[in-house]
Amino acid sequence: MKISKGDFKAAIIRHLHSTLGTDENKANNHAWWKATCAAIQENVLEGLRRTQKTHYMNDTRAVHYFSAEFLMGRLLSNNMQNFGLYDVAHGALKELGVELADVLEEEPDMALGNGGLGRLAACFIDSLATMELPAIGYGIHYEHGLFRQEIKSGAQIERPDSWRDYGNPWEICRPESIQEVSLFGYVETKYGDNGGIKKEWHPGSIVKGVPWDIPVVGYGGKTVNVLRLWQSEASDYFNWDVFNAGGYVDAQRENIQAETISKVLYPNDETEAGKELRLIQQYFFCSCSLKDIIRRYKRAHGDDWSRFKEQVVIQLNDTHPAIAIPELMRILVDRAELDWDTAWDISTHVFAYTNHTLLPEALEKWPARMLEKILPRHLEIIYEINHRFMNEVDKKWPGDNSKKAKLSIIEEGPEKMVRMGHLSVIGSFKVNGVAELHSRLVKENLFPDFDALWPDKLTNVTNGITPRRWLKACNPLLSELVDKKVGEDWPLNLKKLEGLAKHATNKTFQKSFMSVKQKNKQLLADEIYASTGIQVDTNAIFDIQIKRLHEYKRQHLNLLHIMALYRRILENPDYDMHPRVFIFGAKAAPGYKLAKDIIFAINKVADKVNNDPRVGNKLKVVFLPNYRVSLAEKMIPACDVSEQISTAGKEASGTGNMKLALNGAVTIGTLDGANVEIAEEVGEDNIFIFGMTVEDVNALKASGYNPKDYYYKDAEIKAILDWLETDYFTPGKPGALVSIKQSLLDLGDPFFVLADFRAYSDAQIEVDKAYRDKARWAEMVIINTAMMGKFTSDRSIQDYVDRVWRLDSCAVEQQKIR
Ligand code: GL7
């Protein structure tokens, strides 16, 4: 039963009155937002109850997605879409004199993640619910998510994010499912009468994990799964037991402030934080989650562990939750008193691990000393896992000590380190990379010996994105057009978009498609003006690079090219190019100096270019502050050219590349990550591929790369880099931008920016040419949208189901929509 506009209106008013204690005359947009959420939440909770009951009755096997990050963004519009209530809500609010668009803007983003890895987790739980798969997301209920970025005089300033300061209407606290987590202390070895030994961990500190559930509504509103996030609190009876049992003063000293554990998200992307608190965060949420899974399992199976591996699969989203492996072993061996082999058999049939990066600085390693202090029993278990594994290595490569050293979980050196990647591979039954190229490099370069040892363990699952958020919700105009051409079920079957391809050369359809793009560009232009005061021409090419700021992503390659264009215009006022607006969105890790310098440089170059009358409208540069999911939703539909220009071999997959192409942008990119597969899908005529391949990069590295060769041979490169040293862009402050030049010349240009510059610049000339041919461009754009079917996260999830999880969907009785 569909809810009517009248009923929905009544529900909103009812919540204004009795949930919020206000009324129609007093309510501001925030109150309307909360009341609308509450009205939708009625449906959400009914769906949740039905889903949980169905899963319980059917005793379903479920996947448990362990992730330190879930970058959810806003939920109201998504939940309305998924229940098919968007138009109803829009109409109901209109009759109340309220604009839905304004109401939606009230919702703070749930930014409990850094970038692609966290957003992938959010897309995956959307697909899991949509595909009616029994699944739970497990993570951390950070009080502060990723910092809010302000730009002051061109520089990034970090401000705290407070996403739930005024209450979050979606989350439900579940005090009935609180867990206790132990930390610190020591391990006692007890000798039994029969000669057996037993280990007992006497923790030095205990904290409480309080679960908050965020319902995850599948498209169609049938299955509502949950994302369960743990918040840390001081334990009630805290250390009395510990204190009395051990009687030692250290218990107090070791006690960290319990609340700090879930206080903040580490703002680093692709770098290992390497901090004690970070390890505690990881252990905290893994321990709570495992105990939660076991509690649920025991409700159905009591102490019979034999079916555990049939019921439970746990996906480790990168190594951040890898400590769950020894934690499950500890619970099974020390608590449930299973023998080691039985416990290991269960464990290694439960865990699977996704690798998201090859960057060495992101591969987690913990000092053994730190583990010993925080999790003394887990370190012992890791040693035991490693000892047995080394025996296995010895069987395969007898007497080969260098193999052992290479494969060991323990890295010997001045400081003994525990390699969490190795632990994850050894403790999992499947390991996957996130795009074809990346998975090949995982096999060939990162874990070749593991691949030799277990040839079936390493596999690929190419990433995907949810088309519900990343086309249907964020681009209503294009969605409507697509509906008319291919029918309305493409959000569930994205391959249907291929039906657009046959219209790609149709003039009328080209016109409609490009008119949608033009309208979306106007909306973004308004947003740009509102947030930066910069006026941009919507007839210009909108060229967008949105992603975390990192040298390997090469925003500075983009910047050097912008400077080159600027210089060409100054040298030749008639320089022939179609007007272009370069738009950036990016946050830099607060401690990443060069990344912050690049943001500063972009803003300084923007100031100059945008205010130089000699340039006119030909060139504009915009840095939109505080890039986040909700801003991405506004930028992506308006993009003409998508910048995916990482050094080949460095971007594991990328997912922004998929979102932009889906919304009718043409990619300029390297053969890296999922760009390779995007190129396969759209065909080489509909993408601008440039620059070195992974093999080229390796060859150049081997032959000895010297960036100065490019500096001295290419006059334009030299002029641009020298320009950075003057005070042209920073009047009165010469040298303010010099760190970029230094990184490229004196520090060896580790990401081959100069080596790829000319190829990039040439490719941009091709882009310019193609755009000026309106018919050709429209065709390219349409083909891009048409051929993105592969990149729905539903396909990724189906690959996980087939290759990793062996999971069945479970139909939940269709709820009444109230
Ligand atoms: C990342 C990769 O860098 C990115 O290419 C990939 O798309 C994403 C999801 O698989 O994972 N790995 C990583 O450590 N971060 C990523 O975004 C932070």
Does the structure show a pLDDT above 50 at 145?
yes
Does the structure show a pLDDT above 90 at 517?
yes
Residue 693 annotated as catalytic: no
Does the structure show a pLDDT above 70 at 255?
no
Please give the number of the atom of ligand 1 that sits closest to the Cα of 318.
14
Q: How confident is the model at residue 242 (pLDDT cuts 50, 70, 90)?
A: low
Q: Which two tokens stand for residue 368?
A: 């053994």
- pLDDT at position 2: 74
- pLDDT at position 164: 95
Residue 655 annotated as catalytic: yes
Centre of ligand 1 to C-alpha 131, Å, is 24
Catalytic residue among 647, 655, 730, 785: 655
Q: Cα–Cα distance between 549 and 593 in angstroms, integer?
A: 11
Residue 471 DSSP symbol = I
Beta strand 619-623 with 580-585: parallel, antiparallel or unpaired? parallel
Note every long-range contact of 763-770, with CB atoms under 8 Å and residues 24 or more positions apart, other chains counting: 763/668, 763/688, 763/689, 763/690, 763/691, 764/561, 764/668, 766/688, 767/541, 767/641, 767/666, 767/668, 767/688, 768/541, 768/577, 768/578, 768/580, 770/666, 770/688
By three-state DSSP, how is residue 22 classified? Answer: coil
Q: Closest residue (by CA) to atom 9 of ligand 1?
A: 117
Catalytic residue among 547, 550, 554, 596: 547
Q: Closest residue (by CA) to atom 4 of ligand 1?
A: 654
Does the structure show a pLDDT above 50 at 432?
yes
- The alpha carbon torsion through 789, 793, 795, 797 (nearest 10 deg) reads 180
Residues with CB under 6 A from ligand 1: 114-117, 120, 269-270, 356-357, 362, 434, 463, 651-655, 673
Whole-Å CA distances, 333 to 242, 307, 495, 818: 22, 17, 48, 49
- pLDDT at position 1: 43
Centre of ligand 1 to C-alpha 269, Å, is 8
Q: How confident is the model at residue 269 (pLDDT cuts 50, 70, 90)?
A: confident
Residue 356 annotated as catalytic: yes
Centre of ligand 1 to C-alpha 796, Å, is 15
Interhelix angle 476-486/507-532, rounded to 10 degrees, is: 160
Does the structure show a pLDDT above 80 at 670?
yes
Rama region for 584: left / alpha / beta (φ>0; ψ in -120 to 50; rest): beta
pLDDT mean over 261-266:
97
Q: Are 708 and 687 in contact (CB under 8 A)?
A: no
Q: Are 108 and 30 in contact (CB under 8 A)?
A: no
Least confident of 13-22, 246-255, 600-609, 727-736: 246-255
Rama region for 745: left / alpha / beta (φ>0; ψ in -120 to 50; rest): alpha
Whole-Å CA distances, 563 to 96, 578, 613, 728, 770: 51, 16, 16, 12, 22
Centre of ligand 1 to C-alpha 270, Å, is 7
Which of 65, 69, 112, 117 is the best mutation target for the ligand 1 pocket, counting ligand atoms within 8 Å of the beta carbon and taking the most?
Answer: 117
Residue 667 annotated as catalytic: no
- pLDDT at position 813: 80
Q: Cα–Cα distance between 122 and 135 in angstroms, integer?
A: 13
Does the structure show a pLDDT above 50 at 248?
no
Centre of ligand 1 to C-alpha 649, Å, is 13
Q: Which two tokens stand for residue 190?
A: 């007890």
- Domain locations in the chain as residue ranges: 1-58+75-108, 60-72+109-462, 495-791
Does the structure show a pLDDT above 80 at 92?
yes
Does the structure show a pLDDT above 60 at 241?
no
Q: Closest residue (by CA) to atom 14 of ligand 1?
A: 270
Note every long-range contact of 744-751, with CB atoms under 8 Å and residues 24 or more positions apart, other chains counting: 744/556, 744/707, 745/707, 745/708, 745/711, 745/721, 748/705, 748/707, 749/705, 749/707, 750/551, 751/551, 751/552, 751/554, 751/647, 751/650
Catalytic residue among 74, 356, 468, 503: 356
Please give the number of the atom of ligand 1 that sits closest to the Cα of 438.
5
Catalytic residue among 141, 148, 553, 604: 553
Residue 404 annotated as catalytic: no
pLDDT in tens, 792-806: 999 999 999 999 999
Does the structure show a pLDDT above 80 at 482?
yes
- What is the average pLDDT score of the chain? 96
Its sign, for the CA torsion 635, 637, 639, 641, is positive
Burial of 175 (0-12, 13-18, 19+ CB in 10 A): exposed
SS3 of 120-158: HHHHHHHHHHHCCCCEEEEEECCCECCCEEEEECCEEEE
pLDDT mean over 587-611:
98
pLDDT mean over 374-384:
98
Does the structure show a pLDDT above 70 at 373?
yes
Please give the number of the atom of ligand 1 that sits closest to the Cα of 115.
17
Please give the number of the atom of ligand 1 that sits closest to the Cα of 655.
7
- pLDDT at position 818: 47
Q: Would you give the distance in Å from CA 549 to the centre of its chain?
A: 14
* Predicted interface score ipTM higher than 0.95: yes
By three-state DSSP, how is residue 273 classified? Answer: coil
Does the structure show a pLDDT above 90 at 807?
yes
pLDDT mean over 279-295:
98
C-alpha angle 516-507-468 in degrees, rounded to nearest 5:
35
Centre of ligand 1 to C-alpha 625, Å, is 22
Find the helix or strand (DSSP H, E) in which 675 lies.
helix 675-682
Does the structure show a pLDDT above 80 at 283?
yes
Does the structure show a pLDDT above 70 at 8?
yes
Judge if 60-72+109-462 and 495-791 fold alike in CATH terms: yes
pLDDT in tens, 26-78: 999 999 999 999 999 999 999 999 999 999 999 999 999 999 999 999 999 99
Whole-Å CA distances, 272 to 13, 268, 359: 48, 7, 10
Q: Closest residue (by CA) to atom 11 of ligand 1?
A: 117
H and E: helices and strands count for the chain: 33, 25
Strands (DSSP E) found in 558-716 = 580-585, 619-623, 641-644, 666-669, 688-689
- pLDDT at position 88: 97
Residue 199 annotated as catalytic: no
- CATH topology classification for 495-791: Rossmann fold (3.40.50)
- pLDDT at position 98: 98
Its sign, for the CA torsion 796, 797, 800, 801, is negative
Q: DSSP labels for 650-661?
A: T-S--SHHHHHH
Of the options 3.40.50.2000, 3.30.70.330, 1.10.10.10, 3.40.50.300, the CATH number for the domain spanning 60-72+109-462: 3.40.50.2000
How large a percentage of the chain has pLDDT more than 90?
Answer: 94
Please give the number of the atom of ligand 1 that sits closest to the Cα of 362.
14
The Cβ-side half-sphere exposure at 400, using a 13 Å CA radius, reads 13
How large a percentage of the chain has pLDDT more than 70?
Answer: 97
Centre of ligand 1 to C-alpha 654, Å, is 6
pLDDT mean over 579-602:
98
Catalytic residue among 443, 604, 659, 741: 659
Which of 119, 271, 356, 431 is the best mutation target for the ligand 1 pocket, counting ligand atoms within 8 Å of the beta carbon and taking the most?
Answer: 356
pLDDT mean over 689-693:
98
Does the structure show a pLDDT above 80 at 506?
yes
Q: Closest residue (by CA) to atom 12 of ligand 1?
A: 356
Catalytic residue among 548, 550, 561, 795: 548
Centre of ligand 1 to C-alpha 355, Å, is 9
Going by C-alpha positions, the residue among 754, 748, 752, 744 that lies closest to residue 710 is 754
Please give the number of the atom of ligand 1 that sits closest to the Cα of 119.
9
Please give the number of the atom of ligand 1 that sits closest to the Cα of 114.
18
